[in-house]
């Protein structure tokens, strides 16, 4: 596997390596990927359209009177349909990130870089930008001609149109992005009357600029130079991972021939060396050189080659989805230890996540003992301990709660606060005093249990342990 | 010494420093502000006149600056050590 090319390029003491280094760090030649039609192109278009649809559509969905998915940063709460998460629930987001990461590992081990070719935002937005470019500038040949010709009125007009469309699309992307973090309908209303806040404006432009730069200008260079996944994916690969590969045994020796010629008689393989697979490649590589880390597995070369094979009357699949094992005539193994291990990890983490979300109590109680004094004797001869309780209401509705305490016979709870009422997302500090008879204390330090129950919902309750110190 | 340093274009170096630090700054911002409410960062109630979104933004760029400085350090040591290593190997 040739995924370590860049690492080798860092060693400048051999001629071959120097050449690699120079080609890597040379000024990039612009790649004009040829438009491609076929099964995988349709699949990719489907993937791109549905993912873009989800991205641009989801912020407009409503759920129970608020935006369905809203990571409301200004208000410090996340709405995910019926679920409201507070900063204290950060652990769930960490869980989600771990699940996303493990899913990527699992999918990569099973099906290779399918993420890169069909679902990565870099691919998705590059496809959209390429589509706009084709609509404005025409196909690959026309784009090349336009770039080569000197500046004239038409060239300026065409280029200006393309960039204007790109920038509009980027700004809309930036607007949608900010709409995930601040209510999008109000954001839209304020946009119409040109009354956006400075920070919102900044982020719309910043994200828009990033989109324009990444999808319009950087494109495959992001995958080649900036993507960490491209560098470590080989660690998840094995001989049974789905890859896109050129069938060397069948294709070589390559060469042009007449359609009617008996190429086997001429000593030629099935590859007619038409370079269509190179022309359609968005990263500008030649798949016939073997597996390369630049390959984003978009399968454009499969479509292009199948098309040529059909025209020549040869079998399809000279470039195809296959595995290293299958390519060398071995049996395919889908279930392998690596797959089982990833799947088990994923299932475990997902089950824990689902269980903890389902059993999440939207109430939190913290008990902090007064650190200044261990205990105090009251005028009635009772032992007093002082605590500060912190009540956090993680529900969407306001609740009032009843506080109880147990653990020592005859334990009395005193508080100056009449009612424990907490607004949604609010934290209330409740100073309380506990009184106990010295004769009831078994030891210097006894355990007491605070119980907090919502008055309108008995299932909404939490308990918290604390120590009661006596003489 | 031909200076391999010169063979790495400025843009490559910029990306190598700014991009990973951008990612870590994003993670750091998320972690930091999930633990601390921007309004609680000023315990004596100074009125900064900034919204939460504003403080998040400034926080993010401060983190980015910090992580980028560490990235510059890494790049500097990687290049200079690599140069010294290659020079000593050539002299052998």
Per-residue pLDDT of chain A (471 residues; tens, 9 = 90+): 344 443 333 334 444 444 444 444 445 678 888 888 889 999 999 999 999 999 999 999 999 889 999 999 888 889 988 888 888 888 888 899 899 999 999 998 888 888 988 999 999 999 999 999 999 999 888 999 999 999 999 999 999 999 999 999 999 999 999 999 999 999 999 999 998 989 999 999 999 999 999 999 888 888 888 888 888 877 888 888 889 999 989 988 898 888 888 888 888 899 999 999 999 998 889 999 988 888 999 899 999 999 999 998 899 999 999 998 888 888 878 888 889 999 999 999 999 999 998 888 889 999 998 877 888 888 888 999 999 999 999 888 899 999 999 999 989 998 888 889 999 888 899 999 999 998 888 888 899 999 999 999 888 999 999 999 988
Do residues A270 and A251 lie in contact, with contact meaning Cβ atoms separated by under 8 Å? yes
CA–CA min distance B16, chain A (Å): 8
pLDDT of residue A354: 93
pLDDT tier at B46, thresholds 50, 70, 90: low
Long-range contacts, A316-322 (Cβ 8 Å, 24+): A317/A247, A318/A246, A318/A247, A318/A250, A318/A251, A318/A270, A318/A271, A319/A244, A319/A245, A319/A246, A319/A247, A319/A277, A319/A287, A320/A244, A320/A245, A320/A247, A321/A242, A321/A243, A321/A244, A322/A242, A322/A243, A322/A244, A322/A245, A322/A247
Strands A243-246 and A363-369: unpaired
pLDDT of residue A7: 39
Q: Which of A279, A303, A327 is the last residue of a domain?
A: A327
Q: Are residues A299 and A378 in the same domain?
A: no
Q: Do B51 and A74 touch (CB under 8 A)?
A: yes
CA–CA min distance A347, chain B (Å): 25
Q: Is residue A384 part of a domain?
A: yes
Which residues in chain A have Cβ-Cβ distances shorter than 8 Å to B37? 76, 87
Which residues in chain B have Cβ-Cβ distances shorter than 8 Å to A26? none
- In a mutagenesis test of the B interface, which of A13, A70, A89, A226 is the best target, namely the one with the most B β-carbons within 10 Å? A226
Which residues in chain B have Cβ-Cβ distances shorter than 8 Å to A25? 7-9, 12
3-state secondary structure of A457: coil
Residue A318: how many other CB atoms lie within 10 Å: 25
CA–CA min distance B66, chain A (Å): 20
> Which domain range does residue A432 map to?
363-469
Size of interface A-B (CB pairs under 8 A): 46
| Distance, C-alpha A390 to centroid of its chain | 35
| Distance of alpha carbon A346 from alpha carbon A340, whole angstroms | 10
pLDDT of residue B43: 67
* Angle, CA A302 vertex, CA A297 and CA A305 arms, to 5°: 145
What's the total number of domains in chain A? 2
Among the partner-chain residues B15, B56, B57, the one whose CB lies closest to the CB of A226 is B15
Of residues B10 and A116, more confidently modeled: A116
Q: Is residue A225 part of a domain?
A: no
The answer, yes or no, to whether residue B12 has pLDDT greater than 60, is: yes
Among the partner-chain residues A21, A22, A73, the one whose CB lies closest to the CB of B56 is A73
Q: Are residues A313 and A388 in the same domain?
A: no
Residue A223: how many other CB atoms lie within 10 Å: 23
**A421: left (phi > 0), else alpha (psi -120 to 50), else beta?**
beta
Q: Is residue A10 part of a domain?
A: no
Q: Is residue A76 part of a domain?
A: no
B1/A contact by beta carbon, under 8 A: no
Chain A residue with the nearest C-alpha to that of B18: A226
Q: What is the DSSP letter of A2?
A: B
Which residues in chain B have Cβ-Cβ distances shorter than 8 Å to A10? 82
Which CATH number characterizes residue A392's domain?
2.60.40.10
pLDDT of residue A28: 60
pLDDT of residue A227: 86
Start-end of H helices in A149-221 = 153-179, 184-192, 198-211, 220-221
- The number of residues making up chain B comes to 92
| Distance of alpha carbon A118 from alpha carbon A127, whole angstroms | 10
pLDDT tier at B3, thresholds 50, 70, 90: very low
Do residues A392 and A419 lie in contact, with contact meaning Cβ atoms separated by under 8 Å? no
B14/A contact by beta carbon, under 8 A: no
pLDDT digits (tens, 9 = 90+) for A114-163: 898 899 999 999 999 999 999 999 988 899 999 999 999 999 999 999 99
Q: Is residue A429 part of a domain?
A: yes
| Distance of alpha carbon A460 from alpha carbon A444, whole angstroms | 33
CA–CA min distance A139, chain B (Å): 30
Q: Do A25 and B8 touch (CB under 8 A)?
A: yes
Chain A residue with the nearest C-alpha to that of B27: A94
Give the pair of three-digit tokens for residue A376: 């105090």
A182/B contact by beta carbon, under 8 A: yes
Do residues A261 and A267 lie in contact, with contact meaning Cβ atoms separated by under 8 Å? no
Classify residue B86 as exposed, middle or buried by CB count within 10 Å of its CB (0-12, 13-18, 19+): middle
Do residues A63 and A79 lie in contact, with contact meaning Cβ atoms separated by under 8 Å? yes
Place of tokens 């935002």: A121
A206/B contact by beta carbon, under 8 A: no
Q: Which of A277, A301, A327 is the last residue of a domain?
A: A327
């Amino acid at each position: 596997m040739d995924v370590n090319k860049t690492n080798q390029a860092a060693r400048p003491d051999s001629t071959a390596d120097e050449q690699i280094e120079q080609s890597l760090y040379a000024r990039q030649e612009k790649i004009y990927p040829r438009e491609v039609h076929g099964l995988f192109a349709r699949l990719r278009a489907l993937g791109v359209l549905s993912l873009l649809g989800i991205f641009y559509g989801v912020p407009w969905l409503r759920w129970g009177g608020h935006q369905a998915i809203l990571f409301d940063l200004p208000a410090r709460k996340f709405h995910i349909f019926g679920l409201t998460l507070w900063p204290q629930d950060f652990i769930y987001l960490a869980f989600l990130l771990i699940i996303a990461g493990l899913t990527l590992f699992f999918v990569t081990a099973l099906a290779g870089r399918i993420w890169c070719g069909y679902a990565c935002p870099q691919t998705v937005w590059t496809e959209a930008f390429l589509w706009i470019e084709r609509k404005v500038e025409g196909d690959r040949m026309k784009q090349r001609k336009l770039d080569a010709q000197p500046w004239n009125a038409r060239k300026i007009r065409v280029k200006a149109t393309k960039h204007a469309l790109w920038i509009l699309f980027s700004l809309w992307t930036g607007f949608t992005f900010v709409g995930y973090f601040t209510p999008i309908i109000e954001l839209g209303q304020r946009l119409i009357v040109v009354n956006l806040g400075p920070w919102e404006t900044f982020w719309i432009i910043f994200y828009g600029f990033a989109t324009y730069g990444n999808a319009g200008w950087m494109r495959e260079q992001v995958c080649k130079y900036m993507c960490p996944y491209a560098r470590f994916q080989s660690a998840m690969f094995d001989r049974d991972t789905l890859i896109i590969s050129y069938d060397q045994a069948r294709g070589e020796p390559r060469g042009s021939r007449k359609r009617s010629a008996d190429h086997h008689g001429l000593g030629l393989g099935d590859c007619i060396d038409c370079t269509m697979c190179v022309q359609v490649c968005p990263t500008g590589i030649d798949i016939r050189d073997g597996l390369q880390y630049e390959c984003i597995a978009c399968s454009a070369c499969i479509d292009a080659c199948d098309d040529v094979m059909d025209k020549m009357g040869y079998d399809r699949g000279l470039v195809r989805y296959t595995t290293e094992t299958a390519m060398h005539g071995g049996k395919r193994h889908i279930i392998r230890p690596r797959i089982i291990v990833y799947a088990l990890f994923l299932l475990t983490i997902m089950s824990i996540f689902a269980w903890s979300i389902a059993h999440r109590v939207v109430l939190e109680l913290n008990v902090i003992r007064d650190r200044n004094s261990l205990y105090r004797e009251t005028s009635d001869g009772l032992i007093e301990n002082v605590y500060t309780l912190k009540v956090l209401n993680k529900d969407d509705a306001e609740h009032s709660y009843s506080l109880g305490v147990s653990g020592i016979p005859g334990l009395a709870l005193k508080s100056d606060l009449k009612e424990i009422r907490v607004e949604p997302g609010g934290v209330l500090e409740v100073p309380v005093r506990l009184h106990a008879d010295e004769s009831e204390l078994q030891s210097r330090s006894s355990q007491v249990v605070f119980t907090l129950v919502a008055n309108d919902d008995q299932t909404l309750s939490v308990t918290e342990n604390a120590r009661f110190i006596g003489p | 010494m031909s200076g391999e340093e010169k063979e790495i274009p400025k843009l490559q170096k910029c990306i190598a420093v700014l991009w990973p630090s951008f990612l870590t700054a994003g993670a750091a911002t998320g972690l930091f502000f999930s633990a601390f409410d921007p309004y609680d960062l000023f315990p004596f109630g100074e009125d900064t006149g900034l919204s939460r979104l504003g403080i998040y933004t400034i926080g993010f760029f401060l983190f980015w600056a910090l992580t980028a400085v560490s990235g510059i350090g890494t790049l500097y040591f990687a290049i200079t050590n690599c140069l010294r290593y290659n020079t000593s190997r050539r002299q052998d």
